[in-house]
Amino acid sequence: MPSTSQPKLISGNANMPLAKAIARRMSMHRGVDVGLCDARIERFNDQEIFVEVYENVRGEDMFIIQPTSNPANDNLMELLIMSDALRRSSAKRITAVIPYFGYARQDRRSKARTPISAKLVANMIVEAGIERVLTMDLHAAQIQGFFDIPVDNLYASPIFALDIMTQFKGTMDDVMIVSPDVGGVARARELAKRIEAPLSIVDKRREKAGEVAEMTVIGDVSDKICIIVDDMCDTAGTMCKAAQLLIDNGAREVHAYTTHGVMSGPAVERITNSVLKSMVITDTIQPTEAVKATPNIRIIPTAPVFAQAILNIWNGTSVSSLFETPTLEPVYEGQFAG
């Protein structure tokens, strides 16, 4: 049994709307007000980060909600400094809720004299006093092994499956899941299995990071409703090229489902002008006003699943149960009802 009356949440500045939404959902589930801890997180004139927690956290089960999205370095430092403040204030346990885990793309040495930054970040998180990490759709699953503490990696595919079965009701026989590269096949296959759809792959060859030299489609996409599935969309170059390639290969229409909407540089403009009929992202990264105003981008909330996962961790019950549709559907309370 937990020793405290309820879990305590604290948020950095990276995605305050998501943190507040998680708190609201937890309040609804618990039947008592679960607010965000009153704290001050600000910067000195030289941009050093300062944190002061105004509430007593001694012996409390603390959850820091802080994606390490752009600006990645600032948000990461906020997370580490908040953890240090809580540890020195005698918090019982500190869990980092990192909806989007930055530096995850640097998960191995791709060539000589390059860093494995994801491992470095993992070391920093552990050294800061964090005892558990809760995240969503890590870019590479092996990053869980970089930590010597428990890591719960939630998946967006069960949420996407519910949404797809609602949005494409009546045309599910024509739906085909597409992986935008060979590395994402496992993710795409898992979603295809959930909705009992066929799978296709776009094989891409990169000349250098951010530039795609050549793309080919593996599989017959003729007259199919193609759904590209990826864990993140950064500049949207690969996504838009893949969508055009699928149309050129006879696809009826192309949609995209992406967990993390990084949306750097020309991403919004590219998606707006692309052949993508719709693109679905989650709110693990706080969407900009430009993203929210784009007519073919739709945002799915992650607060329901994160709120339930936090409650499960606090109660000592299964987090992996949230990967199953019968468990997830009530969490979203008919949001995807047809």
Q: What are the binding residues?
A: 46-48, 105-106, 139, 181, 206, 230, 234-238
Q: Which residues of the chain have pLDDT under 50?
A: 1-3, 338
Three-class HEC string of the chain:
CCCCCCCEEEECCCCHHHHHHHHHHHHHHHCCCCCECCEEEEECCCCCEEEEECCCCCCCEEEEECCCCCCHHHHHHHHHHHHHHHHHCCCCEEEEEECCCCCCCCCCCCCCCCCCHHHHHHHHHHHCCCCEEEEECCCCHHHHHHCCCCEEEECCHHHHHHHHHHHCCCCHHHEEEEECCHHHHHHHHHHHHHHCCCEEEEEEEEEECCEEEEEEEECCCCCCEEEEEEEEECCCHHHHHHHHHHHHCCCCEEEEEEEEECCCCCHHHHHHHCCEEEEEEEECCCCCHHHHHCCCEEEECCHHHHHHHHHHHHHCCCCHHHHCHHHHHHHCCCCCCC
**Dihedral sign from CA coordinates of 113, 118, 121, 127:** negative
Residue carrying structure tokens 């997830």:
328
Q: Which CATH architecture has domain 8-155+303-331?
A: 3-Layer(aba) Sandwich (3.40)
Can you give the pLDDT at residue 207?
Answer: 62
Residues ≥6 apart with Cβ < 8 Å to 186: none
Which residues belong to the annotated binding site for ATP?
46-48, 105-106
Strands 199-208 and 225-233: unpaired
Bind-site residues for D-ribose 5-phosphate: 206, 230, 234-238
- 9-43 pLDDT, tens digit each: 999 999 999 999 999 999 988 778 888 999 999 99
Taking CB atoms within 8 Å and a gap of at least 24, the contacts of 125-130 are 125/79, 125/80, 125/83, 125/96, 128/79, 128/80, 128/81, 128/83, 128/84, 128/87, 129/83, 129/84, 129/86, 129/87, 129/94, 130/64, 130/83, 130/94, 130/95, 130/96
| SS3 assignment for 290-324 | HHHHCCCEEEECCHHHHHHHHHHHHHCCCCHHHHC
Name the CATH topology of 157-300: Rossmann fold (3.40.50)
- Sequence ranges of the binding site for Mg(2+): 139, 181
Predicted TM-score of the model (pTM) = 0.93
* Residues near 324 by beta carbon (within 8 Å), at least 6 away in sequence: 158
> CA 245 to CA 243: how far, in whole Å?
5
List the catalytic residues: 204
Per CATH, 8-155+303-331 and 157-300 having the same topology is answered yes
pLDDT given for residue 2 in this prediction: 44
Residue ranges per structural domain of the chain: 8-155+303-331, 157-300
Q: Using one digit for the tens of pLDDT, what is the confidence trace for 263-282?
A: 999 999 999 999 999 999 99
